[in-house]
Amino acid sequence: MNKTLQLENQLLNEIRSNKYPPGKLIPSRNSLAKKFDCSRTTVERAIANLTRNGYLEARKGSGTFVRSSSGLSVPIQTVWLVEVGDLVDSWTSSSRILNRPLDIKMEVMRIQYEDIAAKFDRLARPGNAVIWVVPDVSHIFTMNLLRERGVPQLLINRHYEGFDCVYTDSKASLREGLAWLMGESGNQLALVTLPVGEHTPYYVDRLLAFYPLCFELGAKIRSEHLIELKGNPLETASEAANMLFGTPHAPKGIFLTDYRFALPLVVIARSMKIEPSRDFKILAFDFNPDLEHVQGIGMMIQNYTRFGMEAVRWLERLNSGEQRYPFRVPVKTVFYAAGQKEN
């Protein structure tokens, strides 16, 4: 990360933490250069970027202040949805859910990740906003370039430092899910996961929520039942089944960070005369319709309808002149088990 962007993020964090609240005069350029051990030129560039992005405003003869409103110089006219998945239907229904029309005149454009470099200049035009749907770590560089151009951005189901976002609340979701799992199967649990990679940062959220909750709720996990498998879940489910059920201390409750393990695990268990609900229960993120009516399977469905609602609210705030930062909205999953759905 270059020094200007690093300083920009540090100042932005202090603004968001309310160290410098709206209307507050920020320290002088020389003071900031000394505080962050950088050149005055770096400070000037960082402040210029934050001013262009609507965080700061210069008042002649007075200094630079934290802006009290979004202050967009150009109203949002075009919204780019990058790598749209389930958000499409939610987007079209969001205004109805909010029970009011979306006042922003816009054209919703959909592009894939591989088109970003070729279309960057179009993304970066004044009047644009970009909504990233489940971006991975490799796209943070492009996000930072767009931020330098003053393009408002919202991340859907990801939360990277320094960006507006609406994302799955893994801890609240798992608290509900684990309460169900342990209520059904007792406190002897197992974990099956894939390695964390740049395309799967959500595993980190799920694991960071899982371990403390296990301690808090009194769950017990044997070391051999902390299972990390490499490769496609369809290809490694047999290995997982042997590690779970081929021991004298087979767990009654199993948490899967990836729902793709669930169906093959059930199929293989049944081939071993081991039946879900009777012999074990599964808790997994996301929904598999093939398991909808299978007893003993709990699924935490990510709420893309709510994500769409929050995206509309974010856009309305952009053009309304409201204070728009920070916009970080955690959303709990919808829990589903044995044909019964609860909010």
- Token look-up 């201390």 returns 249
Q: Amino acid letter at 2?
A: N
Q: What is the CATH number of the domain that holds 286?
A: 3.40.50.2300
Same domain, 192 and 309: no
Instruction: Give every CB contact of residue 153 below 8 A, 6+ residues apart in sequence.
Output: 129, 130, 131, 132, 143, 146, 147, 163, 164
Q: What is the mean pLDDT of residues 235-253?
A: 88
Q: Tell me which of 95 and 141 has the higher pLDDT.
A: 141
At 52, which CATH number? Answer: 1.10.10.10
pLDDT attached to residue 77? 78
pLDDT (mean) for 70-96: 64
Question: What is the four-CA torsion angle of 38, 39, 41, 42, rounded to 10 degrees?
Answer: -10
User: Residue 205: inside a domain, yes or no?
Assistant: yes
Whether 122 and 179 map to the same domain: the answer is: no
Rounded Cα distance, 2 and 21, in Å: 26
- Please determine, for residue 264, whether its predicted confidence score (pLDDT) is greater than 60: yes
Q: Are 293 and 276 in contact (CB under 8 A)?
A: no
Q: Which pLDDT does position 343 carry in this prediction?
A: 45
Instruction: Assess whether pLDDT exceeds 80 at residue 296.
Output: yes
Same domain, 119 and 185: no
Decide: 279 and 269 in contact? Cβ < 8 Å. yes
Q: Binning pLDDT at 50, 70 and 90, where does residue 39 land?
A: very high
Q: What are phi and psi of 211, to 5 degrees?
A: -65, -50
Residue 316: the pLDDT is 80
Question: Domain range spanning residue 38?
Answer: 3-66
Residue 150 domain-assigned (yes or no): yes
More confident site: 154 or 323: 154
Mean pLDDT lowest among 80-94, 125-139, 224-238: 80-94
Predicted confidence (pLDDT) at residue 164 exceeds the cutoff of 70: yes
Residue 37: is its pLDDT beyond 60? yes
**335 inside domain:** no
Cα Rg for the chain, rounded, in angstroms?
A: 23
Number of domains in the chain: 3
State how far the Cα of 218 lies from the Cα of 328, in Å rounded to an integer: 31
Q: pLDDT value at position 108?
A: 64
